[in-house]
Structure 1
Amino acid sequence: MTTQPDAPRLSATVLIVRDGANIPEVLMVKRHYQIDFAAGALVFPGGKANAEDASADWDPYTDGDFGPVQQDARIAAVREAYEESGLLLARPRAQRGTNQPLVGPDMAEKLDPFRSAVDRGEQSFLELIRDNDLVLALDSLVYFGHWITPDMMPKRFDTHFYVAPAPPDQIAAHDGRETTDSVWIGAQAALDAEEAGEAIIIFPTRMNLKKFATASSVADAVERFGRETVITVKPQQSETPEGEPCLIIPDVEGYGQTVELLSRVNV
């Protein structure tokens, strides 16, 4: 009897980026060692979508209209960024609209005490945004990647990746619950740290770091990735010619790799 794989859960991840001295930097957070997925790994803020992310009540409180799946995933990405980093990708409702400025540090600091309650489901994120007369800047997210966990994995996710310029002057800080550290780092520096054994980076994160490393600035990332078509990546289990178990991914532009040994896949 063949067992059907579990359906993947809708998830969202956001690469929040800023211009460093010579190269763009991305915000990465370190997962708590007691978390059941990617424990101790260096990741981008993100996680599973929840029921409220799909609520039609969000419509008056979002900038941008992206259809059911993209709308839900973008709301989840903004919520997860707020929960895990404190950065708030939102605008005052009275000053909404594409290319309008995001809220400053004063509003981010005002809402910071509610992060833990939103994360635990004790505080509605929608109500928090509504009560503070804000709208989520879903239009500030650039669609960057789409990965579906292989069928044989015990935990499966349908993950949408986004790139978003960091809100000016807001200060990122890890939440101390799901994440224990946060760092602004160049993509290649993160990859080098993993290669040296100084960081744990799971396969999809590593591949999207490689893709982001091709950008020369935040403006370049927004322009370049904004015009690219996102191709769904669902790794397939296989073997190398030498008989080593591996994952195969499509030969898609930007990742520069099609084979990953299972021995290197951290989950």
Structure 2
Amino acid sequence: MSSQEFLPAATTIIAREADGLEVLMVKRHHEIDFMAGAMVFPGGKVHEGDNDPAWAQNAMRWNDVPAEERGLRIAAIRECFEECGIILGDPGRAVPGPEMTRARQAIDRREMEFLDYVREKEIVVDLSTLTAFARWMTPSIAPKRFDTHFFLVADPAGQDALSDGRETVETEWIAPGRALDLAARGERQIVFPTRMNLKLLAQSATLADAVAAATARELRAVRPRIVTRDGTRFVQLDDIDGYGAVEEKVAVP
């Protein structure tokens, strides 16, 4: 991959109202090669099958979504199912249990297409439940570069989040401000883009407020800038990116 190529990816911010706004975060397995041990939102790169036009038969509001966004939204829904067992839409005949666990594992290992499972269980996913929230593009110093689209969605009623035990090992509902406090104290490992989006979420008291704010703001492709001073690297954002003017020292593993 050249330094200018980006892998399309999607991230799902699942939110609910408990004692204020809470979001679902998952802990990445410590042995995986990307963001090991970090608390993140469910997400991953877009697969070829996510862009299959046959999804139109099992996706509500398919024609209401721009063609270039459909695969991203399917990827967000698939990753949500793989990593925490939540189906965004009508779950049909899919029931939590050993069979669903095996299906999640098979889809994750690319031994089964998510669309095939959706058809088998008469699931209908709903693309309209996802609100575009943010878009981040990985800086050039990273070994892998992603063009990641973040989507905000309400927690569907009657479903429990369960980690997959491979990519994710824990799930946690947490207020955005609380997550930021724990990260600042070193009690949670949360990477820069996730923290910046938690910062945005913390500005909203309710899910409706968060959706309204996301809908109202201009969706810009955020490209963090890396600068070096006296041998130390810093990551910077401009105020125009929507997170305020930010500069942080780049963490060295």
TM-score normalised to the size of structure 1? 0.87
For residue 107 of structure 1, what is the amino acid of its counterpart? A
1:235 aligns with 2:224: yes
The structure 1 segments of at least 4 consecutive aligned residues displaced by more than 3 Å after TM superposition are none
Question: Offset of 1:254 from its aligned partner?
Answer: 4.4
Instruction: Tell me the equivalent position of 2:240.
Output: 252
Aligned length: 249
Query: Once the 2 structures are TM-superposed, how far is the Cα of residue 258 of structure 1 from its aligned partner?
Result: 2.5
2-structure distance, mates of 1:192, 1:237: 25
Amino acid at match of 2:29: H
Aligned match of 2:22:
25
Does the CA contact (< 8 Å) of 1:233 and 1:250 recur in 2? no
Match of 1:8 in 2: 6
- Are 1:137 and 2:135 matched, yes or no? no
Find the aligned partners of 1:35 and 1:133 in 2 and give their Cα distance.
Answer: 32
For residue 50 of structure 2, the aligned residue among 50, 53, 57 is 53
| Cα separation, 1, equivalents of 2:219 and 2:95 | 31
**How far, CA to CA, are the matches of 2:191 and 2:248 in structure 1?**
11
Classify the secondary structure of the residue corresponding to 2:65.
coil
Q: Report how far residue 12 of structure 1 moved.
A: 0.5
| Secondary structure in 2 matching 1:109 | coil
Question: Which residue is equivalent to 1:170?
Answer: 159
DSSP-derived class of the 2:14 partner:
strand
Alignment partner, residue 33 of structure 2: 36
Unaligned runs of 5+ in 1: 92-102
| CA distance in structure 1 between the partners assigned to 2:129 and 2:180 by the alignment | 26
2:96 to 109, 112, 126: 109
Identity in percent: 39
**Aligned amino acid, residue 36 of structure 2:** A
Task: State whether residues 222 and 241 of structure 2, in contact with CA within 8 Å, keep that contact through their aligned partners in structure 1.
Answer: no
> What RMSD, in angstroms, separates the aligned Cα atoms of the two structures?
2.0
Contact 2:220 2:241 in 1 (8 A): no
State the SS of the aligned residue for 2:134: strand
CA contact (8 A) 1:26 1:187 kept: yes
Q: How far apart are the structure 2 equivalents of 1:192 and 1:108?
A: 36
8 Å CA contact 1:108–1:170 kept in 2: the answer is: no
Give the TM-score normalised by structure 2.
0.91
The separation in 2 between residues aligned to 1:45 and 1:127, in whole angstroms, is 21
1:70 aligned residue: 69
Deviations 1:184-207 (A, max 9, x none): 000011111111111111111111
Residue identity in the other structure for 1:14: T
Deviation at 1:153, TM superposition (A): 1.4
The amino acid of 1:185's aligned partner reads I
The AA in structure 2 aligned to 1:66 is V
Cα distance, 1:56 vs structure 2: 1.1
Instruction: Tell me, yes or no, if structure 1 residue 207 matches structure 2 residue 196.
Output: yes
What's 1:80 paired with?
79
CA separation in 2, counterparts of 1:108 and 1:246?
47
